[in-house]
Amino acid sequence: MAGNPVAERDAMARARELAHRGPRGVNPQVGAVILSPDGRVLGEGWHRGAGTPHAEVDALSRLRPEEARGATAIVTLEPCNHTGRTGPCAEALLEAGVARVVYACDDPGDASSGGAARLQAAGVAVARLDEAEGEAVIADWLFVQRTGRPRVTVKWAQSLDGRAAAADGSSQWITGPQARAHVHRERSAHDAIAVGTGTVLADDPKLTARIDGDADAPQPMPVVFGTRAIPVDAAVRRHPRGHRTAGHDLERELFGLAADGVQSLYVEGGPTLASAFLAAGLADRLTIYLAPTLLGGPRTVLDDIGVRTIDEQRRLTVTRLEQLGPDLLVEATTEEVH
């Protein structure tokens, strides 16, 4: 069955928009659009969380049975082929009489993949479209499937001479308002935010995302690493998402966070925590704010990260440079692929 290229591409773009309506968590965000043979939109759907109908089934539920027969399903992820809390989407599409399925990226799961092959074996026309764009929608979820842990972003602000604070420990503020506003947008874009107990005791941070004009911005879940007690009146205890404590075994804690649906972690602690993630090879992305100021003194942005000789230096790939008011944003990825 030949498709309608223009209608299918428009529908795939719409499906990506719908996918973002679903919650981030253990399951991927997926959107679907059902098209008539002449390219009209018959129904839309998205996955609303674990245990709810998948996007394809949600979209099919908007149609009368006769509308689904001969229709085209556009979906951002390959229809699943296994029974979990819900049945296999490949079977639901077959039962509905859908004649063509267009999806963006393959399902990486050992148990859930194979939906495209199942559909083709039953005579349904199957095609791929916008793979890179589809993967971008669920990039963090795909990272969790490959590694078993969340994608980790380590952030710090520093003076040009590599200091995170003045000699007396004061650090508010090294950067200007534009850089600090960007930090809050980064917080909101991550599922969880990490600090060490030292930061909680010294700065009593709120760890919320405060974005002008967006009172409903998504909030990251605070994760406090360390063994020292958190004061009963600490601001983190009043966070709208509560907080979680974690020990010193970073990899084990990351696996636990992934099992609970955390796909991305924003590490915003001080030099001790940032250095621990780098030394352990668990920092995937760095977000660094360079302020045009000099502080001198001992408060460097990093402690020991395991580099003993110049041959062991940690090479980075810079992916973004941007001026934020007087400050410079540097985004980079680590050379090693985790």
pLDDT in tens, 1-28: 567 889 999 999 999 999 999 998 888 9
In CATH, the architecture of 145-334 is 3-Layer(aba) Sandwich (3.40)
Domain map (residue ranges) of the chain: 5-137, 145-334
Q: Is 67 a catalytic residue?
A: no
Q: Distance between CA atoms of 75 and 72, rounded to whole angstroms?
A: 10
Q: What is the number of H-type helices and E-type strands within the chain?
A: 11, 13
User: Where are any strands of DSSP class E within the chain?
Assistant: 31-35, 41-46, 72-77, 100-105, 125-128, 151-159, 192-196, 221-225, 244-246, 264-267, 285-291, 316-324, 327-334
Give DSSP secondary structure letters for 285-301.
EEEEEEES----SS-BS
Q: Distance between CA atoms of 243 and 259, rounded to whole angstroms?
A: 16
In CATH, the architecture of 5-137 is 3-Layer(aba) Sandwich (3.40)
Quick one: pLDDT at residue 88? 87
pTM over 0.95? The answer is no
Q: Which of 8, 17, 44, 56 is catalytic?
A: 56
Contacts of 181 (CB under 8 A, 6+ apart): 211, 212
- Residue 84 near residue 50, CB atoms below 8 Å: no
Residue 237 has pLDDT above 50, yes or no: yes
- Structure-block tokens of residue 214: 């967006």
At 97-141, the pLDDT tens digits run: 999 999 999 988 776 778 999 999 999 999 998 889 999 999 999
CA distances from 28 to 43, 160, 334 (A): 20, 40, 25
User: Which helix (H) or strand (E) element contains residue 275?
Assistant: helix 271-279
